[in-house]
């Protein structure tokens, strides 16, 4: 594009020069015509001035044509550049949101089908813990209820959260979940989500898959015990 723009500038400069040459040739032709009319010059000189004027006009037309060609070349270069930018954008991997790459699924040189996966990314703005409660307790929990997450790695730092999901159907207790009573076979999944602003402030400490214990306060009148009071 810069090279094409340089060609346009050069053609424009040449056009300006040819316009000046034609203007000078026209002025000389006008003066010669006036002198010839009064008999103060010869027809030969008038013919020479006429030829000079015709040549200047032809040069001006050629310069205008070169400007047009240069401008078309610039437009073509701009079109190509735009096409290449679109190609680059289409072939550039862009994360849909801020996050952390967890796994690389595809190596350089591999051909992916439509929708193929390249990376697994951890969404730092959506961190939650799922717990499972029996029917009697799950029925008291509502979306928006306050909760606390106590990770095994940070047993003295309760993390405030809120209930963002309550399952409408019961399911068998997953093997990875421990309950106080083994007779509670059907459980309801409860999801506790951490506030996004708190996550952004501690993004470097976020880890996925950390085990811990979740607490839900279904009765707002009950205060949190000291070990679950969240720091501001």
Work out whether strand 159-166 and strand 146-151 pair parallel, antiparallel, or are unpaired: antiparallel
Per-residue pLDDT in tens (0 to 9) along the chain, 232 residues: 999 999 999 999 999 999 999 999 999 999 998 888 888 888 888 889 899 999 999 999 999 999 999 999 999 999 999 999 999 998 888 888 888 888 999 998 999 898 889 999 888 888 999 998 888 888 899 999 999 999 998 888 899 999 999 998 877 666 656 555 554 567 889 999 999 888 888 888 888 888 999 999 988 889 999 889 876 6
Judgement on whether residues 149 and 216 belong to the same structural domain of the protein? yes
The pLDDT value recorded for residue 170 is 78
d(CA 44, CA 184): 120
Judgement on whether residues 160 and 218 belong to the same structural domain of the protein? yes
Residue 200 tokens read as 């952004």
Judgement on whether residues 14 and 76 belong to the same structural domain of the protein? yes
How many Cα atoms occupy the beta-carbon half-sphere of 189 within 13 Å? 12
Number of domains in the chain: 2
Query: Residue 187 falls within a domain, yes or no?
Result: yes
The pLDDT value recorded for residue 183 is 47
Query: Residue 197 falls within a domain, yes or no?
Result: yes
Judgement on whether residues 130 and 222 belong to the same structural domain of the protein? yes
Question: How many angstroms from the chain centroid is the CA of residue 224?
Answer: 43
The CATH number covering residue 205 comes to 2.40.30.170
Residue 34 tokens read as 């006036």
Judgement on whether residues 63 and 156 belong to the same structural domain of the protein? no
Judgement on whether residues 134 and 220 belong to the same structural domain of the protein? yes
Judgement on whether residues 85 and 144 belong to the same structural domain of the protein? no
Query: Residue 172 falls within a domain, yes or no?
Result: yes
The pLDDT value recorded for residue 232 is 61
The pLDDT value recorded for residue 187 is 83
The pLDDT value recorded for residue 125 is 86
Query: Residue 145 falls within a domain, yes or no?
Result: yes
The pLDDT value recorded for residue 165 is 94
> Which domain does 129 fall in, by range?
125-228
Question: How many angstroms from the chain centroid is the CA of residue 59?
Answer: 50
Judgement on whether residues 78 and 150 belong to the same structural domain of the protein? no
Query: Residue 116 falls within a domain, yes or no?
Result: no
Burial 157-177 (b: 16+ CB within 10 A, else e): ebbbbbbbebeeeeeebeeee
The answer to pTM > 0.75 is: no
The pLDDT value recorded for residue 197 is 86
Long-range contacts of 55-62 (CB under 8 A, 24+ apart): 55/25, 56/18, 56/21, 56/22, 56/24, 56/25, 56/26, 57/22, 57/25, 59/18, 59/21, 59/22, 60/15, 60/18, 60/19, 60/21, 60/22, 62/18
Query: Residue 108 falls within a domain, yes or no?
Result: no
């Amino acid at each position: 594009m810069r090279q094409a723009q340089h060609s346009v500038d050069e053609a424009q400069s040449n056009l300006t020069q040819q316009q000046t040459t034609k203007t000078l040739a026209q002025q000389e032709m006008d003066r010669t015509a006036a002198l010839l009319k009064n008999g103060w010059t010869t027809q030969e000189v008038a013919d020479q001035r006429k030829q000079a004027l015709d040549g200047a006009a032809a040069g001006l037309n050629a310069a205008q044509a070169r400007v047009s060609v240069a401008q078309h070349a610039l437009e073509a270069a701009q079109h190509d550049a735009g096409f290449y930018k679109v190609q680059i954008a289409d072939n550039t991997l862009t994360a849909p949101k801020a996050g952390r790459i967890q796994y690389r699924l595809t190596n350089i040189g591999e051909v992916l089908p439509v929708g193929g996966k390249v990376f697994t990314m951890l969404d730092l703005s959506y961190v939650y813990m799922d717990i499972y409660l029996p029917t009697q307790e799950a029925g008291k929990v509502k979306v928006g209820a306050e909760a606390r997450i106590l990770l095994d790695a940070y047993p003295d730092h309760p993390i405030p959260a809120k209930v963002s999901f309550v399952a409408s159907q019961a399911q068998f207790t997953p093997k990875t979940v421990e309950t106080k009573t083994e007779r509670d076979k059907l459980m309801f999944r409860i999801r506790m989500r951490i506030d996004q602003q708190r996550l952004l402030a501690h993004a470097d400490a976020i880890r996925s898959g950390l085990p811990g214990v979740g607490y839900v306060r279904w009765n707002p009148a009950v205060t949190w015990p000291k070990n679950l009071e969240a720091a501001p």
